[in-house]
């Protein structure tokens, strides 16, 4: 799912292409995409784009008359840009993935979603008050002090992973960048917020800001003047996210994971958990007392037993 760094780069690319332009036509192909009925999506046709904004993990496009298109890409939604007038799609598969297209005078912005699950959403709202009602309320980490960060973090006793990714606490942080933040801070994803000492809280605050800014800078450099077509939650340059069983870039220990629902948390057991393996919910239930507690126990399970 695109998060703060990805959304930031998307918005910068859109600013160069559609800000100040008139939206000529909107086409909605995805039946489940549009989540509002009033005002109708056609209300933005013929109106100029006057603002672009990030609202958590949402992309907000503002038009004259204070009407907003609010896009949430979710896990598999992606934006694409093509200069000039739209052309007929050459492949049926490409057409089937396109959920919406927005035509302006200099090109067309399209929204696609891979897979069969349709989770991406589009809201059309009128007025700042209605727009702000879509905001879960999480604070921007670049706009708060370390003291405020600590107060928000410790407002309830959650795991660090849950706290960082809770949109009601912090804005724009999701599964991917929370893994990178916790690795940089050398903290366990299952550490409890109210048990952090001041040094650990400081490490987390600095790592959160540093990682988000580093990835904004990196994605800007990768994108250049092009449109960021390759937004993805998995990047080979990441330290731990999506790197299960690959060596940690810091200590070479194999990256481990905790799987739950459709997500997973990746971490280095040596750098983050004192060489302890965190219980994978599905496997630990199956193995119970046989679940390995350390890297050594895990490796011994993988090693062939010598004949007696």
Q: What is the pLDDT of residue 292?
A: 46
Cβ within 8 Å of residue 251, ≥6 positions away: 268, 270, 271
Q: How far is CA 175 from CA 92, 115, 179, 258, 266, in A?
A: 32, 19, 7, 12, 9
Q: What is the pLDDT of residue 56?
A: 94
Query: What number is the average pLDDT over the span 276-298?
Result: 56
Alpha-carbon gap, residue 287 to 12, rounded angstroms: 49
Q: What is the pLDDT of residue 231?
A: 72
Q: What is the pLDDT of residue 61?
A: 98
Alpha-carbon gap, residue 3 to 113, rounded angstroms: 16
Q: What is the pLDDT of residue 201?
A: 98
More confident residue, 187 or 233: 187
Q: What is the pLDDT of residue 287?
A: 41
Query: What number is the average pLDDT over the span 123-130?
Result: 96
Q: Where in the chain is the domain with CATH 1.10.8.50?
A: 141-295
User: Of 280, 297, 228, whose CA–CA distance to 73 is shortest?
Assistant: 228
Q: What is the pLDDT of residue 254?
A: 96
* Domain 141-295 coded CATH 1.10.8.50: yes
Q: How far is CA 193 from CA 96, 165, 301, in A?
A: 44, 13, 33
- Residues paired with residue 48 on neighbouring β-strands, in sequence order: 22
Segment 25-39, tens digit of pLDDT: 999 998 899 999 999
Q: What is the pLDDT of residue 286?
A: 42
Instruction: Report residue 164's pLDDT band, with 50, 70 and 90 as the boundaries.
Output: very high
Looking at the predicted structure, is the pLDDT value of residue 12 above 50?
Answer: yes
Instruction: Report residue 261's pLDDT band, with 50, 70 and 90 as the boundaries.
Output: low
Query: What number is the average pLDDT over the span 133-160?
Result: 96
Alpha-carbon gap, residue 218 to 221, rounded angstroms: 5
Query: What number is the average pLDDT over the span 256-283?
Result: 85
Segment 64-115, tens digit of pLDDT: 999 999 999 998 899 999 998 766 544 444 455 799 999 999 999 999 988 7
Query: What number is the average pLDDT over the span 112-140?
Result: 92
Cβ within 8 Å of residue 67, ≥6 positions away: 39, 43, 44, 47, 124, 125, 126
Q: Which element (helix H / strand E) includes 280?
A: none
Average pLDDT over the chain, rounded to an integer: 88
Q: Where in the chain is the domain with CATH 3.20.190.10?
A: 4-132
Q: How far is CA 61 from CA 13, 27, 28, 103, 116, in A?
A: 13, 16, 16, 14, 26
Segment 232-252, tens digit of pLDDT: 667 889 999 999 999 999 999
CATH number for domain 4-132, candidates 3.55.40.20, 3.20.190.10, 3.30.750.210, 3.40.50.10860: 3.20.190.10
Q: How deeply is 203 buried, as exposed, middle or buried, from its count of CB atoms within 10 A (0-12, 13-18, 19+)? A: middle
Residues 70, 15: contact at Cβ < 8 Å?
Answer: no
pTM above 0.75, yes or no: yes
Instruction: Report residue 279's pLDDT band, with 50, 70 and 90 as the boundaries.
Output: confident
Instruction: Report residue 263's pLDDT band, with 50, 70 and 90 as the boundaries.
Output: confident
Pull the structure tokens for residue 152: 């928000």
Looking at the predicted structure, is the pLDDT value of residue 163 above 50?
Answer: yes
Residues 292, 298: contact at Cβ < 8 Å?
Answer: yes
Instruction: Report residue 294's pLDDT band, with 50, 70 and 90 as the boundaries.
Output: low
Q: What is the pLDDT of residue 86?
A: 60
Alpha-carbon gap, residue 136 to 55, rounded angstroms: 9
Q: How far is CA 81 from CA 16, 59, 98, in A?
A: 12, 15, 12
């Amino acid at each position: 799912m695109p998060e703060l760094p990805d959304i930031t780069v998307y918005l910068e690319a859109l600013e160069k292409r559609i800000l100040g332009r008139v939206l000529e036509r909107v086409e909605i192909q995805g039946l489940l995409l549009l989540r509002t009925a009033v005002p109708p999506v056609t209300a933005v046709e013929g109106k100029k784009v006057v603002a672009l904004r990030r609202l958590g993990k949402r992309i907000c496009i503002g038009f004259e008359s204070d009407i907003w298109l609010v896009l949430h890409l979710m896990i598999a939604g992606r934006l694409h840009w093509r200069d000039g007038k739209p052309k007929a799609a050459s492949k049926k598969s490409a057409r089937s993935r396109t959920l919406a297209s927005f035509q302006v005078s200099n090109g067309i912005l399209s929204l696609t979603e891979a897979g069969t699950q349709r989770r991406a959403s589009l809201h059309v709202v009128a007025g700042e008050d209605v727009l702000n009602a879509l905001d879960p309320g999480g604070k921007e980490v670049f706009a708060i002090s370390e003291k405020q960060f600590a107060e928000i973090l410790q407002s309830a006793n959650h795991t660090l992973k849950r706290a960082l990714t809770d949109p009601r606490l912090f804005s724009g942080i999701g599964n991917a960048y929370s893994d990178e933040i916790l690795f940089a801070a050398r903290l366990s994803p299952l550490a409890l917020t109210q048990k952090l000492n001041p040094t650990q809280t400081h490490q987390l605050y600095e790592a959160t800001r540093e990682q988000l800014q580093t990835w904004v800078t990196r994605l800007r450099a990768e994108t250049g003047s092009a449109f960021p077509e390759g937004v993805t939650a998995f990047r080979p340059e990441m330290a731990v996210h999506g790197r299960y069983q690959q060596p940690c870039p810091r200590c070479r220990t194999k990256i481990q994971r905790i799987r739950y629902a459709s997500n997973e948390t990746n971490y280095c057991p040596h750098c983050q958990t004192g060489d302890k393996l965190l219980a994978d919910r599905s496997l630990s239930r199956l193995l119970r007392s046989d679940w390995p507690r350390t890297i050594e126990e895990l490796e011994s399970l993988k090693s062939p037993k010598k004949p007696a």
